[in-house]
């Protein structure tokens, strides 16, 4: 399954090569023309039957992850986050380090060695480390140079007929949607932009848009499901199985109101 392969590929911001190569191989299989820009965005072009209007649809290839920034004498790896990561969930998480995908686990001071006040607050970044089983600094340095990225070791799984789990669905789901779009024919010119470095400041999308110069742009992005315990029903802006969500505003953009309404009407008509 394409989504499974994209999900399990490693592609933290700025190091999207594995994901990009999978996408390029699929584009070649579909015989779609594409180019890769200087930042690493992949822009796939499909001429329309009429060709008077150009629509760009974008999804980002990168994912959040970790970067190794130091190595202890013991061989343990110090790291910092790439993108927004809640450090409260990191302890005991398994990771894959570097292009060789060396297995490791995130550790911290054991709870029975912590002082009472330390147990009341989340660990700071400097209190966490990755253990890859290296016996000392020299062995770790041979395996993991500084600047090496690590991703979470989460395998893709089918939980039910229509529910799957995996890592980096934000935004490998979007990338999968774009590849599906490229299988069809349209009246308009279609540009599918697979962008880089979204998780560290939306860095790839802007240059992609300037390059494509579309008349209209749509972004396919992942979001959270709010129908979980502890969230009152009136706060359920998104729910699993209820279809895609339309954004009316976020921290960085306010979409054109008439466009959002048009998308909503199309979704209602198509029972999406």
For the chain, what percent of residues have pLDDT higher than 70? 100
Q: How many beta carbons lie within 10 A of that of residue 186, not counting itself?
A: 16
Q: By the 8 A CB rule, do 113 and 164 touch?
A: no
Q: Is omega for the bond preceding 171 within 30 degrees of 0, making it cis?
A: yes
Give the separation between CA 90 and CA 86, rounded to whole angstroms: 7
Give strand pairing partners of 77. 71, 130
Asked if 58 and 165 sit in the same domain, the reply is yes
**Domain shared by 90 and 57, yes or no:** no
- Site of tokens 């590849």: 179
Closest CA to 260 of 204, 215, 219, 213: 219
147 and 114 in a common domain: yes
Q: Are residues 136 and 175 in the same domain?
A: no
* pTM for the whole structure: 0.91
Question: Whole domain around residue 248: which residue ranges?
Answer: 2-63+160-269
- Of 8, 16, 26, 198, catalytic: 198
148 & 166 share domain: no
Residue after which a domain boundary falls, among 152, 179, 200: 152
pLDDT in tens, 147-203: 999 999 999 999 998 899 999 999 999 999 999 999 999 999 999 999 999 999 888
Say if residues 12 and 64 touch (Cβ distance below 8 Å): yes
| CA dist., res. 95 & res. 79, Å (int) | 12
45 and 176 in a single domain? The answer is yes
Q: Which of 56, 60, 59 is nearest to 191 (CA)?
A: 56
Residue range 47-83, pLDDT digits in tens: 998 878 999 999 999 999 999 999 999 999 999 999 9
Is there a catalytic annotation at residue 198? Answer: yes
Distance separating alpha carbons of residues 214 and 127, to the nearest angstrom: 47
């Amino acid at each position: 399954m394409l989504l499974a392969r994209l999900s399990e590929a490693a592609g933290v911001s700025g190091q999207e090569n594995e994901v990009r190569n999978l996408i390029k191989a699929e584009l070649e299989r579909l015989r779609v023309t594409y180019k890769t820009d200087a930042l690493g965005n992949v822009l796939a072009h499909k001429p329309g039957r009429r060709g008077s209007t150009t629509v760009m649809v974008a999804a980002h290839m990168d994912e959040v992850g970790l970067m190794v920034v130091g190595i202890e004498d013991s061989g343990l790896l110090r790291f910092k986050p790439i993108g927004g990561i809640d450090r409260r969930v990191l302890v005991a998480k398994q990771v894959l380090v570097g292009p060789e995908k060396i297995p490791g686990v995130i550790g911290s001071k054991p709870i029975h060695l912590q002082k009472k006040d330390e147990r009341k607050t989340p660990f700071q970044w400097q209190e966490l480390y990755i253990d890859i089983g290296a016996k000392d600094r020299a062995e770790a340095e041979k395996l993991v140079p500084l600047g090496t990225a690590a991703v979470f070791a989460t395998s893709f799984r089918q939980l039910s007929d229509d529910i799957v789990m995996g890592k980096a669905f934000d935004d490998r789901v979007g990338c999968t949607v774009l590849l599906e779009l490229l299988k069809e024919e349209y009246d308009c010119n279609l540009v599918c932009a697979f962008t880089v470095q979204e998780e560290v400041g939306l860095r790839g999308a802007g240059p992609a848009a300037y390059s494509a110069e579309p008349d209209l742009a749509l972004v396919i992005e992942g979001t959270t499901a709010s129908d979980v315990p502890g969230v009152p029903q009136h706060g359920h802006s998104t729910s699993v199985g209820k279809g895609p969500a339309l954004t009316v505003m976020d921290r960085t953009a306010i979409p054109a109101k008439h466009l959002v309404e048009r998308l909503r009407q199309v979704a209602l008509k198509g029972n999406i």
